[in-house]
Amino acid sequence: MLDQSTRDQDFPSLGERVYLNTAAEGIPPLAVGAAFQQYFQDKLLGMDGRKLHEAQWDAAKDLLAQMYGLSSDEVSICSCSSEAFNLAYQALQLKAGDEIIVSDLDFPASYTFGLQQSCPATVKVWKSRDWELHLDDLQSLLSDKTRVVSISLVSFFNGYKIPLQDVIQTIRANSSALIALDVTQA
């Protein structure tokens, strides 16, 4: 359970400070430093260390699977959200006539694949009004051609948090599109 004592243990550099810039330059908990140290020690073993690294990787996948009610075979770990989005878009094998919906409040890396000349899909932008995204605007963009709706739970731009369940319901009522959710800022 997260509480003040675990905060003090995990983040001793914060002391009495409140640090809000975690998405751009997050302060890692001490456990991250310990994990890096373990990784370094394993690397010192050469090829023998690879087995230890793979065991840690598998344990992380198992933990994520358990958290989300999945099997570990359904979990992939990528180096960053940009890599994950690009892999998802490539796996869909988008073609001419397909549509991607992105929001103007999202971090650009989540939809750069759709903007590449090699991507034949049409990109539609869910435009914010008064710094918020409105469901009726999303609904008007959705169609049976929509293959992906790429959105951020919390905008990097202004901190706006989407009403996720309402967004999912709106998408599901109007499309069978993949929902690509970036939770980096959340």
**How confident is the model over 129-186, as pLDDT tens digits?**
999 999 999 999 999 999 999 999 999 888 899 999 999 999 999 999 999 888 888 7
- Residue 67: pLDDT band with limits 50, 70, 90: confident
Of the pLDDT bands very low, low, confident and very high (cuts 50, 70, 90), residue 85 is confident
148 is written with which tokens? 């992906």
Same domain, 85 and 48: no
The pLDDT assigned to 151 comes to 92
Same-domain status, 109 and 49: no
- Distances in Å between the Cα of 43 and the Cα atoms of 30, 37, 38, 54 are 20, 10, 9, 12
| Pair 94, 177 in one domain | yes
| Tokens 């890396």 found at | 109
- Pick the more confident residue, 116 or 181: 181
47-57: b or e for each residue (b if 16 or more CB lie within 10 Å)? Answer: eeeeeeeeeee
104 and 16: one domain?
no
Q: Say if residue 119 is in the same domain as residue 56.
A: no
> How does residue 38 score in pLDDT terms, banded at 50, 70 and 90?
very high
pLDDT at 52 over 70: yes
Q: Note the pTM of the prediction, 2 decimals.
A: 0.73
**Structural domain containing residue 94:** 81-182
Average pLDDT over residues 71-87: 86
On whether both 59 and 85 belong to a single domain, the answer is: no
User: What are the start-end ranges of the E strands in the chain?
Assistant: 99-103, 122-126, 146-152, 178-182
> How many Cα atoms are found within 13 Å in the side-chain-facing hemisphere of 168?
7
- Shared-domain flag, residues 11 and 68: yes
pLDDT at 148: 93
Please tell me whether residues 159 and 98 are part of one structural domain. Answer: yes
Maximum mean pLDDT: which of 26-40, 65-79, 105-119, 126-140: 126-140
For position 114, what pLDDT does the model report? 59
Cα 24 from Cα 93, distance rounded (Å)? 32
